[in-house]
Amino acid sequence: MLYTEFESIVLPYLRSKDRVAVMVSGGFDSAVLLYSLCLVKSSYKLAVNISTFTVPLHNDSERYSRIVTAWVGNKFNLELTPTICGDPDLAHNQVVKSGIAHAIGVCPNIITAETTNPPHLTDLSSAPKRTHALKIFQPFIGWTKKETVRLSIDLDLDNLVSLTHSCTEKTVRCDQCWQCQERAWGYAVNLYSDPGSY
């Protein structure tokens, strides 16, 4: 089970920190990541404090981040309301960068939900530039959307992922943008229907 693999990746990290901060976007991967980290903390009764940061992007990401963190916080009885960070007036990739820089200033142990792009979507010009960041912990970096979708199915997270928003173009799913294509691929390869419509 992928969760066992995830646990072996994050457990030494969580045990070595007194606090960590998760970058949430209101999207699929960061929602599954936040839930899974809280599950490991809860299962092992770890003392580590988990907080969240979000960068307000123009696709209403702040609203979705609040919904996602409230859902996960309620499940684990944790206060996870996101701190807003980053300058929304910068270009898209620069906003995220400025947000992470701000977050690191507050909590040095930042965790992001960066995955590896699916091979067939990697060369599209609209593909996000994925980077292995040295200072940031990226437990999903060895996985693609195929694995993060599988993890959400294994953990029975349909209710959570139905609240997430992946599309960067519209408030409902556009089925055209890179993020919509990646998410559709992740569900198709798992032979599973996406429970969400955003």
- Closest separation in Å from C-beta 197 to Zn ion: 12
| Exposed / middle / buried, residue 28 (Cβ in 10 Å: 0-12, 13-18, 19+) | buried
State which residue, 23 or 167, has the beta carbon closest to Zn ion: 167
In the Cβ-directed half-sphere of 34, how many Cα atoms lie within 13 Å? 36
Residues 152 to 171: which contact Zn ion by CB under 5 A?
A: 167, 169
3-state SS class at 24: strand
Token pair for 146: 């195929």
82, with CB counted inside 10 A (0-12, 13-18, 19+), is buried
Check binding of 177 to Zn ion (CB under 5 A): yes
Q: Residue 36 or 164: which CB sits closer to Zn ion?
A: 164
Q: Which stretch binds Zn ion (CB under 5 A): 34-42, 63-71, 152-160, 175-183?
A: 175-183
Choices 22-30, 94-102, 155-163, 173-181; region in contact with Zn ion by CB under 5 A? 173-181
Judged by CB under 5 A, the chain residues 99 through 158 that form the site for Zn ion are: none
> Which residue is listed with tokens 């949430």?
24
Q: How far is the CB of 177 from Zn ion (least distance, A)?
A: 3
Q: What is the DSSP letter of 137?
A: B
H or E segment and range at residue 72 = helix 61-76
* Closer CB to Zn ion, 85 or 180, in the complex: 180
Q: Which is nearer to Zn ion, 100 or 180 (CB)?
A: 180
Give CA–CA dist 146/138, Å, rounded.
Answer: 16
Which amino acid is residue 80, in one-letter code? L
Smaller CB distance to Zn ion: residue 34 or 167? 167
* Range in contact with Zn ion (rule: CB under 5 A) among 4-12, 33-41, 52-60, 172-180: 172-180
Beta bridge partners of 83: 53
Chain contacts with Zn ion (rule: CB under 5 A)? 167, 169, 174, 177, 180
